[in-house]
């Protein structure tokens, strides 16, 4: 028996490719569709509308098709209220719970569409009937380990609509030039200038800039430029690992990064011990801030973060030496700390770190402007494949990118 449902698409669905993706999904999954109404937006600001009936040979196939259409912003013509089931225990969600995307999302509850707060991918969606400040309903995301017994968790996709960001129709402002994922063929200098202009614009509007940095920033000699950006007030939050901080601090104390002089590329005698000696000195001082106050650390990114009250999260890993006393070694605690940073960010700049970039990307809404820079194109590709479709990739040397970015940003202050 053929099963069918009618769905609606609305917005800039033609030039953003949404309609094409939806038609393709129906056919790829073995279904068929019949377009019942198609109104084309005829000028730049006018949206298009499409209503189509989707059919499949069985209920399971239809359910799979509707799921794919839902991820692309399609809404059932006659949506029912969100289906809520109480969590049976702490950290346990109901079967068939709704797993969120990182796109703006709404739920239909008590006859009204409610925006979902703190949206990020791969979370449960919880509705609190009177959790708002005025006692109104509230919808928000929770990671699975944060779900509490009795939480009303959304199941299936009924009463939920997703709004994937659409490609700008006319350039899209400062980031319109970078649409199209990752490429090593873009003109680097002009692209970096555009990123610099966006960074300045975000700060001028009172926005929040988050930097995600890997140890290569220090090894490549770009640490001084990043420290200059921090000192000038262009960085509000830093997310990094134990290695980044250790090598930055090592450079301040010993003039080396992982035992190598960044300027001369020489390896001083016993230089290979500098990183572990650095960790020891920071532990002895009682932490990075204490080491700055005592004059043990006098320059570098971590120094400027302390001096300028930049929120810093150092997330540990199984590979860490020491680690530094400031490093968060509990994985869940580190995730939650990164999550708080990510939800405040308006612009995120990821610098030469694959795993940390993916971790932060998982916490970001798709509306947050994101730039990922690495000499290895696989870093950006993996970030995009993981679901951070809003991330724009630059394949270039981090030792060139950061100093050039700092030059373009800071030249406007002169």
pLDDT of residue 278: 95
Question: How are beta strands 391-395 and 369-374 bridged, if at all?
Answer: parallel
By DSSP bridging, strand 124-128 and strand 138-142 are antiparallel
d(CA 80, CA 161) in angstroms, rounded, equals: 11
Tell whether 65 and 155 lie within a shared domain. Answer: no
d(CA 321, CA 93): 37
Residue 33 in any domain: the answer is yes
3-state secondary structure of 108: strand
Query: Does the structure show a pLDDT above 90 at 283?
Result: yes
| Dihedral (Cα; 144, 209, 334, 249), 10-degree rounding | 170
Q: Are residues 269 and 364 in the same domain?
A: yes
Domain boundary among 37, 58, 77: 77
Does residue 324 share a domain with residue 194? yes
Q: How much is the pLDDT for 183?
A: 53
Is residue 179 situated within a structural domain?
Answer: no
How many helices (H) and strands (E) are present in the chain, helices listed first?
13, 18
| Each residue's pLDDT tens digit, 366-375 | 889 999 999 8
Q: Is residue 343 part of a domain?
A: yes
Identify the CATH number of the domain in which residue 64 sits.
3.30.70.2690
Based on the fold, state whether residues 301 and 325 are members of the same structural domain. yes
Q: Cis peptide before 300, with omega less than 30 degrees from 0?
A: no
Identify the CATH number of the domain in which residue 346 sits: 3.40.50.10690
Residue 171, domain member (yes or no): no
Q: Is residue 177 part of a domain?
A: no
| 133 and 66 share one domain | no
Q: Mark whether 126 and 249 lie in a shared domain.
A: no
Examine the fold and report which residue of 28, 43, 77 is the final residue of a domain before the chain moves on. Answer: 77
Please say whether the beta carbons of 127 and 82 come within 8 A. yes
Res. 174 pLDDT band, cuts 50 70 90:
very low
The confidence score (pLDDT) of residue 252 equals 93
Judgement on whether residues 70 and 83 belong to the same structural domain of the protein? no
Task: Clarify whether residues 102 and 61 are in a common domain.
Answer: no
Count of domains for the chain:
3
Strands 237-241 and 209-213: parallel
Both 353 and 333 in one domain: the answer is yes
Residues 223 and 341 in one domain: yes
pLDDT category of residue 177 using cuts at 50, 70 and 90: very low
pLDDT in tens, 371-406: 999 988 888 787 776 666 667 888 889 999 999 999
Domain that holds residue 138: 79-164
Question: In angstroms, what is the C-alpha Rg of the chain?
Answer: 24
Q: Is the pLDDT of residue 163 over 90?
A: no
412/329 Cα distance (integer angstroms): 40
> Which pLDDT value is given to residue 387?
62
For the purposes of burial, counting CB atoms within 10 Å of the CB of 414, is it exposed (0-12), middle (13-18) or buried (19 or more)? exposed
pLDDT tens digits, 251-280: 999 988 877 767 666 677 677 788 999 999
Domain identity same for 300 and 194:
yes
* Residue 175 within a domain: no
The CATH number that applies at residue 159 is: 2.40.420.10
Model confidence at 182, pLDDT cuts 50, 70, 90, reads low
In a domain, 54, yes or no: yes
Say if residue 220 is in the same domain as residue 235.
yes
Q: Can you tell me the mean pLDDT for 232-241? A: 98
Q: Where a domain ends, among 25, 60, 77?
A: 77
Phi, psi of 372 (to 5 degrees): -120, 120
């Amino acid at each position: 028996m053929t099963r069918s449902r009618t769905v609606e698409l609305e917005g800039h669905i033609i030039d953003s490719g949404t309609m094409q993706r939806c038609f393709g999904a129906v056919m790829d999954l073995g279904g068929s569709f019949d377009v019942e109404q198609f109104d084309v937006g005829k000028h730049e600001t006018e949206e298009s509308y499409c209503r189509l009936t989707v059919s499949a040979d069985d209920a399971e196939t239809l359910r799979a098709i509707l799921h794919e259409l839902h991820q692309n912003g399609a809404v059932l013509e006659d949506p029912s209220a969100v289906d809520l089931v109480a969590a049976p225990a702490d950290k346990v969600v109901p079967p068939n719970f709704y797993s969120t995307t990182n796109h703006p999302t709404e739920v239909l509850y008590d006859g009204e569409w409610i925006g979902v707060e703190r949206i990020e991918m791969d979370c449960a969606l919880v509705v609190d009937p009177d959790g708002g400040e005025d006692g109104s309903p509230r919808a928000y995301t929770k990671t699975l380990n944060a779900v509490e017994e009795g939480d009303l968790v959304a199941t299936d996709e009924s009463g939920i609509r997703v709004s994937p960001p659409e490609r700008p129709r006319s350039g899209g402002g400062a980031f319109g030039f970078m649409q199209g994922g990752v490429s090593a063929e873009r003109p680097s200098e002009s692209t970096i200038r555009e990123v610099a202009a966006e960074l300045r614009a975000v700060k001028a509007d009172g926005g929040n800039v988050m930097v995600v940095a890997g140890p290569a920033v220090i090894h490549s000699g770009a640490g001084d430029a990043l420290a200059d950006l921090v000192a000038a007030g262009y960085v509000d939050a830093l997310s990094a690992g134990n290695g980044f901080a250790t090598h930055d601090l090592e450079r301040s104390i010993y003039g080396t990064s992982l035992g190598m002089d960044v300027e001369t590329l020489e390896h001083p005698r016993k230089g290979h011990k500098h990183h572990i000696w650095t960790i020891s000195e920071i532990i002895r001082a009682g932490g990075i801030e204490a080491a700055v106050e005592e004059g043990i650390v006098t320059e570098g990114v971590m120094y400027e973060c302390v001096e300028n009250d930049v929120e810093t999260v150092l997330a540990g890993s199984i590979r860490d030496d020491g680690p530094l006393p400031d490093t968060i070694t509990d994985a869940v605690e580190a995730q939650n700390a990164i999550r708080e940073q990510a939800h405040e960010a308006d612009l995120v700049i990821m610098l030469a770190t694959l795993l940390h970039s993916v971790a932060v990307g998982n916490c970001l809404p798709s509306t947050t402007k994101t730039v990922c820079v690495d000499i290895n194109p696989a870093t950006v590709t993996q970030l995009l494949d993981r679901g951070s479709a809003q991330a724009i990739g630059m394949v270039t040397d981090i030792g060139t990118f950061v100093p050039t970015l700092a030059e373009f940003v800071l030249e406007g202050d002169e």
